[in-house]
Structure 1
Amino acid sequence: MESILEQQRKAHEEIERLEQAIVDQFMKDPKSHKERLTREHRVSDFLDRISSRSKFLYELYEDSDGARKNEIDALSGTSEFSEFYGRLKAIKDYHRRYPNETVEPLELEFINQAKENGEDDLDKLFSGEEGSGRFLDLHALHEQYVNLKNIKKLEYLTYLGEFDHFSDYSKENKHGEYVKYLADLRNYLESFFRRVKPLSNLEDIRRETENEFNTLWVQGKVSGKKSYSKETVYDAHLKSKKHLKAANEMIKKDREIAFLEALIQKYAQVLGSQREDTKANVERKRALTDRERRMELETEEVDDVETESEDEDKIYNPLKLPLGWDGKPIPYWLYKLHGLGVEYPCEICGNYVYMGRKAFDRHFQEWRHAHGMRCLGIPNTRHFHEITLIEDAYALWEKLKSTSKTDDFKADTMEEFEDVEGNPIRSSYDQQKILTN
């Protein structure tokens, strides 16, 4: 058995190596979301080990049984030489009994750890729908929600935006299965938070929420609930002891439910970016055809293979230039020639910003703009090219509907021609106009 002093020395060495390992992790520049999250999980593991070893050291230094003091006295007393040779003999006897036992020095563990790729472990933490922590997966909870009694039924996309609107539910329906649904929703959000933000302290958020909630509860300002801030007020309201006991139980349950709701609302606020990304991803997937969905899945598989096999050498790119076909930054003169530094925002696309004129011109026929036009109830035809403001799109649409150009939007009667200059004519109206001229 190792001496207490040797155990302390090894614990101190492990803590120092863990601290250096954390520094090494933060010296790296993660290239992707998965690399950043992998680094955070690894650092979180290191911090847990530091905490564990620090607690172990504290107990040794506290020396509640006096064993450490006895060991130091034995080494520093009059019989220190006999103590030294006695320990040396014990070490030799141990290695004589176990001559082939392999020993891995502590530094080898951290050398091997630096070479490991933790992205495979990261994939096991998240479902496919969660996209390595980029999106929430509330499908099971949505199914649980729509099966509650006397609850307004919401489709999934609407549910993502309103699952924390608890004031919309009547107090009479907040019992039984509803409480179980709240607990399951809270458990999922806490689990997702720990997986996607491993370096954040969930307990701090919970304590902060509890303090805010207690203040509002005492003041009677919790939405949808009634409480009594003073004992005298409460006693005046309830005369019967039996009624008082039953009412106390009811208020206790109401308080638990209200705190659950407040906690879920806080988690939804902290995970706001993932929530918005989830809504955008659901909308995007709905706009895809079956063929586009299959192509996207194939692309993701190819990207995963390329990520695993790509070279780890860092590319020097201080100007953040786009990468060319060879994976290297394009020349700066080419970047300026194509105007890739010029931003073109489009309100119809949800204020998405396109870099460069070429990308801006191309986006009018891409899924994002087509989906935006479809949400406005306007056909995405050539007449609306260059239109990026919602107000302008509506104005042009009303103008076109008020003229004979509305015939141009009837896809089942449209034919495409070309005039002598090669310009496309996409409707019988355009053809007639040219022929008459």
Structure 2
Amino acid sequence: MESVLEQQRSAHEEIERLEQAIVDQYMNQPKTQKERLENEHVVNKFLNKITEKSQQLYDLYEDKDGARKKEIDALATTSDTFGDFYERLRVIKDHHRKYPNEFVVPSELQFIIQERQKLEDGSEEAELDTLFSGEEGNGRFLDLNPLYTQYINLKHIKRVDYLAYLSNFDDFKGSYPKETKTTADYRNYLTALQSYLESFFARAKPLYNLDALREKSKEKFESDWKEKKVPGWEKKLGEEEEAAPELFCIACQKQFSKQTVFDGHLTGKKHIKAQKQLLEQKGPNLDQAEIEKARQKALEEKEDKDKPVAWQEVLISSYVDALSSHREDTKANVERKQALTDRERAIEQEQEDHELVENESDDDDEDKIYNPLKLPLGWDGKPIPYWLYKLHGLGVEYPCEICGDFVYMGRKAFDKHFQEWRHAHGMRALGIPNTRHFHEITQIDDAYTLWDKLKKKGRADEFKADTLEEFEDAEGNVFNKKTYEDLKRQGIL
């Protein structure tokens, strides 16, 4: 067993190594959102290990059992210094003789080695792949769809669409009526919303100091609660105390703020039963002081019941303020997706999956181009964005029978092909001059019909061999007869 001093030295060394590992981790500049999250989660695990080791070190320094003090006293009072040194050396040699070739893996490398083994063995998927839902986009957006379903099922609330809910779900003063806040469904909704936001912090922002935010919010809440300034509860905290004492039901221990509601309560079966029990216990005459005491007690109990709900609302508002950028990004993403068709959403999801695959690939595979949609390549040698593909209409097919049923993708390529060699060859094979009259003509029958019509009306261009007869060089360039012969005589072709 190691001595206490050796355990302390080892703990200090391990903490220093973990701190250096955090520095090394931050030296790796992340290029994508996923890489940034991976770095933060690794650093968070290192920090947890530092906290654990620091607690162990604190316990050793506290020395509740006195073992550390005894060891120090033994070192200070021993007369045989070299004898003690050689005794410790003997213990170390015996240990290494008993466990030969033993090696120690530094704690900062244990996590990295374990994760690499999992990925190489294929026994477990990468942790980040299972942390987020598809709507969350690796921690970039919030996924409040399940909570929106709970919201629209609450009583007395205004039904809104999901986009409006994202803007106002933390407006506890205006979006949630007083009648809703007294229901059990509302309390369950608040608990689910708080749990989700805390979970999102742990997954998307693992290094965020959530405890400090919670403590700061708690201090402000306690101050505002005493002064009755909590948003959404200002009127509620004061209305029952300001209500007339004659609107208090001693039998049911409940204060009312309106005479009409109080009158309706007096005719209820529950009140009649409670009133009968009260008369049996204390008789018809009740002391006014006793009634006021019961009223104050009921108000205090009501306030104690409302306080946890108000605290949850304030805490959720603090969380949302810290995630304000995520909420704005979520609103923009939802609004953008609502404008897409089902096919475009499917294509976008396929592209997102492809991006994830590309980010996980090695640097050696960067030259490989993955183009499942067969998009045209841009100036950088990579497929152009899908929105640019749609903007230029590159997904529209334009077949040309004269070109041998060749299909041109996009209007620009279709217009350009009428002056290219393939269409010119097709027209020459038909015996028709490739003039501007036949622009937009793609069917053979249409070309013949128009040619006959032009000849009958005398509008056909005179055929001149030196200008209309075309020749093609070895590289596929098309020239008229006169130009071709001139270039050939000069030795250019």
Q: What is the aligned partner in structure 2 of residue 303 from structure 1?
A: 355
CA contact (8 A) 1:74 1:80 kept: no
The aligned counterpart of 2:228 is 220
Equivalent of 2:157 in 146, 151, 156: 151
Q: Is the 8 A contact 1:189 1:267 kept in 2?
A: yes
Structure 1 Cα separation of the partners of residues 186 and 324 of structure 2: 24
Task: Rate the CA distance shift 1:115–1:191 in 2: closer, same or farther, 3 A.
Answer: closer
Give, in whole Å, the separation in 2 of the partners of 1:246 and 1:7.
58
Structure with the greater alpha carbon radius of gyration: 2
8 Å Cα contact 2:18/2:107 also seen in 1: no
1:370-381 correspondence to structure 2 within 5 Å: none
- Please say if 1:141 is aligned against 2:147: yes
Instruction: Say which is worse superposed, 115-124 or 166-175, in terms of deviation.
Output: 115-124
CA distance in 2 between counterparts of 1:165 and 1:67 reads 58
How far the C-alpha of 1:139 sits from its partner, in A, is 1.2
1:277-296 alignment runs, 5 A limit: 277-296=329-348
Task: Write the letter of the residue equivalent to 2:179.
Answer: E
SS in 2 for 1:240: helix
Task: Say if 1:73 and 1:235 are closer, same or farther in 2 by CA, change over 3 A.
Answer: farther
Instruction: Go from structure 1 to structure 2 and tell me whether the alpha carbon gap of 1:21 and 1:312 turns closer, same or farther (over 3 Å shift).
Output: farther
Report what 1:64 is aligned to.
64
Q: Distance in 1 between matches of 2:215 and 2:94?
A: 55
Rate the CA distance shift 1:82–1:312 in 2: closer, same or farther, 3 A.
Answer: farther
User: Of the candidates 171, 181, 189, which is equivalent to residue 189 of structure 2?
Assistant: 181
Specify the code of the residue in structure 1 equivalent to 2:154.
L
Alignment of structure 1 residues 208-287 onto 2, 5 Å: 208-225=216-233, 226=235, 240-287=292-339
The answer to whether the Cα contact below 8 Å between 1:75 and 1:84 also exists between their aligned partners in 2 is no
Equivalent pairs, count: 330
CA deviation profile, 1:280-325 (whole Å, cap 9, x unmatched): 21222222222212211221222122111241899xxxxxxxx962
Instruction: Give the match's secondary structure for 2:29.
Output: coil
* Alpha-carbon shift at residue 272 of structure 1 (Å): 1.0
Q: Is the 8 A contact 2:148 2:162 kept in 1?
A: yes
**1:250 offset after TM fit, Å?**
0.7
Cα deviation code 1:172-212 (max 9, x no counterpart)? 22121111111110111111122222222111111222222
Give the match for residue 53 of structure 1: 53
Is structure 2 residue 377 aligned with structure 1 residue 325?
no
Contiguous gaps of at least 5 residues in structure 1: 315-322, 328-357, 368-418, 424-437
1:354-433 aligned at under 5 Å gives the runs: 365=391
Check conservation: 1:74, 1:83, Cα contact below 8 A: no
When the two structures are superposed, what TM-score results if normalisation uses the length of structure 1? 0.65
The aligned counterpart of 2:179 is 172
User: What code does the residue aligned with 1:139 have?
Assistant: N
Letter in 2 for 1:286: Q
Q: What is the percent sequence identity of the aligned residues? A: 50
Q: Is the 8 A contact 1:15 1:53 kept in 2?
A: yes
Distance 1:258 1:326 in 2: 57
1:110 shift after superposition? 6.7
Is contact 1:11-1:53 (8 Å) kept?
A: yes
Contact kept in structure 1, 2:140 and 2:326, CA below 8 Å: yes
Matches of 2:346 and 2:93, distance apart in 1 = 66
The alpha-carbon deviation at position 90 of structure 1 amounts to: 4.0
C-alpha separation in 2, matches of 1:218 and 1:234: 19
- Alpha-carbon distance, 1:20 to partner: 0.9
Give, in angstroms, the shift of residue 258 of structure 1.
1.5
Deviations 1:138-163 (A, max 9, x none): 11111111222222222222211111
For 1:201, the aligned partner's letter is N
Displacement after TM superposition at 1:99 (Å): 4.9
Matching residue of 1:34? 34
Between the aligned partners of 2:365 and 2:224, the Cα distance in structure 1 is 54
Contact 1:22 1:46 in 2 (8 A): yes
The CA deviation at 1:220 is 2.1
What is the letter of the counterpart of residue 240 of structure 1? E
Q: Distance in 1 between matches of 2:47 and 2:111?
A: 18
The Cα of 1:132 is off from its aligned counterpart by 0.9
Distance 2:244 2:25 in 1: 60
Q: Alignment partner of 2:126: what SS?
A: helix
Query: 2:208 and 2:75 mapped to 1: Cα distance?
Result: 45
Judge conservation of contact 2:21–2:108 (CA < 8 Å) in 1. no
Q: 1:158 to 1:85 in 2, by over 3 A?
A: same
Contact 2:40–2:206 (CA under 8 A) maintained in structure 1: yes
> Per-residue deviation at 1:228?
6.6
Partner of 1:78: 79
Give the Cα–Cα distance (whole angstroms) in 2 for the partners of residues 85 and 128 of structure 1: 64
Structure 2: give runs of 5+ residues left out of the alignment.
120-124, 249-290, 367-377, 394-435, 441-493
**CA–CA distance in structure 2, aligned partners of residues 151 and 45 of structure 1:** 42
TM-score (norm 2): 0.59
Q: Aligned in 2, Cα 1:111/1:140: closer, same or farther, shift over 3 Å? A: closer
Does the aligned pair in 1 maintain the 2:132–2:139 contact within 8 Å? yes
Give the CA deviation at 1:72. Answer: 2.7
Name 2:469's counterpart in structure 1: none
Once residues 293 and 271 of structure 1 are traced to their aligned partners in structure 2, the CA distance between those partners, rounded to angstroms, is 26
